[in-house]
């Protein structure tokens, strides 16, 4: 009797063997989605590659229950799942889970009876009344207006169908008709794109050719901010769609990419399909299915879009490839830029990495010829790059208790007087990063993390930016009980706004931070208001550094250019250069030239000198030379083990054991254990060990053996992070 391996979306060691029912005419093909029994439950898995174990006794085997009416998972996606699992040291089932996205995606999209939230259910979802944990999970899984089958709801929420029935009886759910799957309009490939400039044409032709080859290859597309890189790679997207293959564009922050989406729509006449974590469950299901069935040609997504079921993926673009948002730090830890390259290789697809400030990894790959490189040297339409200069705060300090120095205030006044827009940038949310008691020196810190609480004056609370803990601002010091002795220290963006209100009362101001610009609608409205000149002064955190095009913005002031340069992280300099260059790149994108002022207490820092000289290439070359001798990435391999436990001594003990039994040998080195960058996070004590190896040594076998040598109690978690972004 035929046996098959079925991979289940669970963190199990491998695939499980099942029997094909004797009455079936043929065994389901590899990649088929099948329903199988698992310890009394029913589960959906995928028929996996490889031979089932012929020696497993017949009585241990169970029958496959059914084959689902869903296109089978392609061989290239199955290989990708296995590859990512092996590279990141995760069980393949944990990666498969990302590829299945939502179990309910596998439901047929016919219109039939289902359930939706009743009015009472919506109130309960908003937090009214008491609920059991399982009912709470069900409410979390359904968006208001969504209609889903009982099976989909129980699968999504991980509860039995009895819970769903019970909630219907209790009036929290009501029956409704499920709509059929949504249509995704096809892009119009006959619309002409914009007339490309000379250098754009050369680059676009090269990308079209790389795409048309229908073979694996990686191209790095660089060029200053505003040089027209997007228009160039949209040409490659068009080429890919003409070949009948699918294209994927990865963006670091979809919710803020409204201008990008508008451009896509102008170019192709329809909006692209979207994929990101805030997508409602119905939309998620429809998109997954439409993609699997070949009804979506082009998709724009966050990193998890790499795991979607494209029938024939022909092109992957990673825009702003240097962004750390592409790194997933929870669960399966992976870097979407690197995995995009792997996915492209397994799909015989072209991969395009795009950035004005590429990562040192990617630059090095281009230099050694592993990646092709294309460069756009000038801004589109003759706009010039902004002039960058430094304000030495030691020479011209801000007034006491203020954060804007006289030259910067002067420059903002002059810009506003000319009727142009200015921007003040500070990479810090909230009002003040630290609250200190002036009587006893007590600092307000998070009870769960080794981090200070950040004052948010708008929301009237102190908040931890790592675990979300929030508490009201106390009327007196919790330590010495002095009244009104607590003082905010240092600036956050809210405090800059307060100062701007005093200094530029006439200016129409807009704060752009993740707490004021929460979703796509707010982002679109902000972009519109700025373009329509309804705003004079923009005050923002790192969200203003994203690819915005603000044609009337001519002055960018960086309130604290030194922020991010302190600390032991070897990658801090690279990241700061990238961020500040991106912020600077918002200025002077149209006719009027732009300028950028960087306030600093240490203006001789090489990062700041490089920004002033506009010599990013030189800076990155120096950075490479600094990392090469010690075999730091990208000249060597690095993996981190994060050991964490609620009990500090247990974390220390396991970390010490790991430190004593680490791999040794030529070209391999273990650093640590040391406190992890956040030594306490969400109530868990964290220690870090780093494994550094020469480039020609694969770290995965070393890590596997290493972890096998140490007894790790259930209360201790060891997270593996291959290629950590900070070190
Ligand atoms: P980058 O991605 O390199 O920062 P963009 O692609 O965003 O640059 O281009 C900057 C601006 O110039 C955008 O508003 C874009 O629409 C415009 N632009 C770029 N290339 C062209 C072109 N060939 N014709 C017309 N407008 C263009
Ligand atoms: Zn005190
Ligand atoms: Zn915290």
Which DSSP string corresponds to 576-634? HHHHHHHHHTTS--SSS--EEEEEES-TT-HHHHHHHHT-HHHHHHHHHHHHTTTT-TT
Confidence check: pLDDT of 35 > 70: yes
pLDDT at 280: 83
Ligand 1 mean position, distance from CA 238 (Å)? 17
Q: What is the mean pLDDT of residues 517-540?
A: 91
Q: Which residues line ligand 1 (CB under 6 A)?
A: 194-197, 200, 223, 225-231, 380, 547, 549
Given a contact cutoff of 8 angstroms between Cβ atoms, the answer to whether 318 and 338 are in contact is no
Least confident of 160-174, 178-192, 289-303: 178-192
Provide the ipTM. Answer: 0.96
Dihedral (CA of 469, 471, 473, 474) sign: negative
Instruction: Please give the annotated binding residues, written as ranges.
Output: 437, 440, 446, 449, 464, 467, 477, 480
Residue showing tokens 């700041």:
608
pLDDT at 180: 58
Q: What is the pLDDT of residues 644-683, one digit of tens each?
A: 999 999 999 999 999 999 999 999 999 989 999 899 999 9
Confidence check: pLDDT of 568 > 80: no
pLDDT at 590: 79
Which string of DSSP letters, residue by residue, matches 41-89? EEEEEEEPSS---TTS-GGG--B--EE-SSPPPPHHHHHHHHHHHHHHT
Confidence check: pLDDT of 103 > 70: no
pLDDT at 592: 82
Confidence check: pLDDT of 106 > 70: no
Confidence check: pLDDT of 418 > 90: yes
Q: Whose CA is nearest to atom 24 of ligand 1?
A: 194
Instruction: Please give the annotated binding residues for Zn(2+), written as ranges.
Output: 437, 440, 446, 449, 464, 467, 477, 480
Ligand 3 mean position, distance from CA 465 (Å)? 6
Q: Whose CA is nearest to atom 11 of ligand 1?
A: 226
CB atoms within 10 A of CB 195: 8
Q: Whose CA is nearest to atom 21 of ligand 1?
A: 228
Q: What is the pLDDT of residues 385-410, one digit of tens each?
A: 899 999 999 999 999 999 999 999 99
The chain-wide mean pLDDT, for the chain, equals: 92
pLDDT at 155: 82
Q: What is the pLDDT of residues 700-726, one digit of tens each?
A: 999 999 999 999 999 999 999 999 988
Distance CA 604, CA 595 (A): 20
Ligand 3 mean position, distance from CA 467 (Å)? 4
Of 281, 282, 285, 329, give the one whose Cα is nearest residue 303.
Answer: 329
pLDDT at 116: 86
Confidence check: pLDDT of 218 > 50: yes
Q: Among the atoms of ligand 1, which is closest to the Cα of residue 551?
A: 14
Tell which wins on pLDDT, 204 or 257.
Answer: 204
**% of the chain exceeding 90 in pLDDT:** 73
Ligand 1 mean position, distance from CA 356 (Å)? 13
Ligand 1 mean position, distance from CA 242 (Å)? 23
Q: What is the mean pLDDT of residues 11-18?
A: 93
Q: Among the atoms of ligand 1, which is closest to the Cα of residue 224?
A: 3
Q: What is the pLDDT of residues 470-522, one digit of tens each?
A: 999 999 999 999 998 999 999 999 999 999 999 999 999 999 998 888 778 88
Q: Which of 223, 231, 267 to mutate to test the pocket of ligand 1 (most atoms within 8 A of CB)?
A: 231
Using alpha carbons only, what angle is made at residue 547 by residues 545 and 552, rounded to the nearest 5 degrees?
A: 85
Q: What is the pLDDT of residues 113-126, one digit of tens each?
A: 788 898 888 888 88
Distance CA 152, CA 179 (A): 14
Contacts of 247 (CB under 8 A, 6+ apart): 236, 237, 240, 241, 297, 298, 299, 313, 314, 315, 316, 317
Which string of DSSP letters, residue by residue, matches 9-37? SS--SS-EEEEPPTT-SSPPPTT-EEEEE
Least confident of 30-34, 202-206, 340-344, 590-594: 590-594
Ligand 1 mean position, distance from CA 549 (Å)? 9
- 673, burial (CB in 10 Å: exposed 0-12, middle 13-18, buried 19+): buried
Q: Which of 197, 377, 380 to mutate to test the pocket of ligand 1 (most atoms within 8 A of CB)?
A: 380
pLDDT at 177: 66
pLDDT at 105: 57
Q: At 650, list the tokens.
A: 């247990």
Distance CA 313, CA 248 (A): 8
Distance CA 123, CA 348 (A): 50
pLDDT at 104: 55
pLDDT at 142: 86
Distance CA 299, CA 27 (A): 33
Confidence check: pLDDT of 57 > 80: yes
pLDDT at 1: 66
Judged by its nearest atom, the ligand closest to the C-alpha of residue 585 is: 1
pLDDT at 484: 87
pLDDT at 119: 86
Q: Among the atoms of ligand 1, which is closest to the Cα of residue 319?
A: 2
Confidence check: pLDDT of 178 > 60: yes
Q: What is the mean pLDDT of residues 175-192?
A: 79
Confidence check: pLDDT of 112 > 90: no
Q: What is the mean pLDDT of residues 204-210?
A: 97
Q: At 648, is the secondary structure helix, strand, or coil?
A: helix
pLDDT at 110: 47
* Position 179 confidence tier, pLDDT thresholds 50, 70, 90: low
Distance CA 196, CA 525 (A): 29
């Amino acid at each position: 009797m035929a046996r098959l391996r079925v991979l289940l979306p669970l963190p199990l060691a491998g695939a499980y063997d099942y029997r094909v029912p004797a009455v079936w005419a043929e065994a389901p093909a590899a990649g088929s989605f099948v329903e199988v029994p698992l310890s009394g439950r029913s589960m959906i898995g995928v028929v996996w590659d490889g031979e089932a174990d012929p020696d497993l006794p017949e009585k241990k085997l169970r029958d496959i229950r059914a084959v689902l009416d869903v296109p089978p998972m392609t061989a290239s996606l199955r290989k990708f799942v296995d590859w990512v699992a092996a590279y990141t040291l995760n069980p393949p089932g944990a990666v498969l889970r990302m590829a299945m996205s939502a179990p309910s995606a596998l439901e047929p999209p016919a219109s039939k009876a289902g359930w939706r939230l009743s009015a009472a259910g919506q109130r309960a979802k908003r937090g009214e009344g008491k609920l059991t944990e399982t009912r709470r999970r069900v409410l979390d899984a359904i968006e208001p207006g969504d209609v889903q089958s009982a099976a989909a709801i129980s699968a999504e929420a991980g509860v039995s169908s009895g819970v769903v029935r019970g909630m219907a009886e209790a009036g929290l759910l009501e029956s409704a008709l499920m709509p059929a799957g949504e249509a995704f309009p096809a892009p119009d490939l006959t619309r002409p794109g914009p007339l490309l400039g000379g250098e754009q044409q050369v680059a676009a032709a090269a990308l079209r050719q790389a795409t048309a080859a229908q073979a694996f290859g990686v191209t790095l597309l660089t060029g200053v901010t505003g040089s027209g890189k997007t228009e160039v790679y949209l040409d490659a997207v068009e080429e890919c769609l003409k070949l009948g293959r699918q294209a994927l564009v990865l963006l670091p922050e979809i919710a803020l990419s409204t201008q990008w989406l508008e451009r896509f729509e102008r170019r192709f006449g329809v909006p692209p399909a979207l994929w990101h974590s805030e997508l409602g469950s119905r939309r998620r299901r429809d998109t997954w299915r439409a993609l699997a069935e070949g009804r979506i040609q082009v998709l724009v997504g966050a990193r998890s879009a790499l795991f979607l079921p494209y029938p024939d993926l022909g092109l992957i673009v990673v825009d702003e490839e240097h962004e750390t948002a592409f790194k997933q730090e929870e669960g399966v830890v992976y870097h979407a830029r690197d995995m995009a390259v792997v996915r492209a290789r397994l799909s015989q697809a072209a991969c395009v990495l795009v950035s004005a400030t590429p990562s040192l990894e990617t630059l090095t790959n281009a230099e050694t010829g592993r990646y092709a490189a294309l460069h756009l040297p000038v801004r589109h339409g003759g706009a010039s790059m902004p002039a960058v200069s430094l304000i030495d705060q030691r020479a011209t300090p801000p007034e006491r208790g203020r954060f804007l120095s006289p030259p910067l205030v002067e420059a903002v006044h002059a810009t506003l007087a000319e009727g142009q827009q200015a921007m003040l940038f500070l990479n810090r949310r909230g009002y003040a990063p630290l609250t200190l008691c002036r009587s006893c020196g007590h600092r307000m810190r998070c009870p769960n993390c080794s981090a200070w609480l950040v004052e948010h004056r708008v929301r009237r609370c102190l908040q931890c930016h790592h675990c979300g803990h929030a508490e009201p601002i106390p009327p007196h010091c919790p330590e010495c009980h002095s009244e009104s002795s607590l003082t905010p220290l240092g600036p956050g963006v809210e405090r800059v706004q307060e100062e701007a209100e005093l200094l530029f009362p006439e200016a129409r101001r807009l704060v752009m931070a993740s707490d004021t610009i929460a979703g796509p609608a707010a982002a679109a409205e902000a972009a519109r208001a700025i373009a329509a000149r309804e705003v004079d002064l923009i005050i923002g955190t790192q969200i203003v550094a994203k690819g915005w095009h603000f044609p009337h913005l001519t002055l960018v002031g960086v309130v604290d250019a030194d922020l991010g340069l302190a600390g032991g992280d070897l990658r801090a300099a690279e990241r700061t250069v990238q961020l500040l260059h991106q912020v600077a790149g918002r200025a002077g994108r149209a006719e009027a030239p732009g300028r950028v002022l960087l306030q600093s207490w240490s203006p001789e820092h090489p990062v700041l000198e490089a920004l002033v000289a506009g010599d990013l290439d030189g800076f990155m070359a120096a950075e490479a030379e600094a990392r090469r001798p010690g075999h730091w990435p990208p000249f060597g391999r690095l993996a981190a083990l994060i050991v964490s436990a609620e009990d500090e001594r247990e974390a220390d003990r396991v970390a010490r054991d790991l430190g004593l039994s680490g791999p040794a040998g030529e070209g391999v080195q273990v650093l640590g254990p040391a406190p992890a960058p956040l030594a306490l996070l969400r109530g868990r004590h964290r220690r870090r060990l780093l494994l550094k190896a020469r480039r020609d040594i694969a770290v995965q076998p070393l890590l596997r053996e290493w972890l096998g040598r140490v007894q790790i109690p259930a209360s201790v978690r060891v997270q593996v992070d291959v290629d950590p972004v900070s070190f």
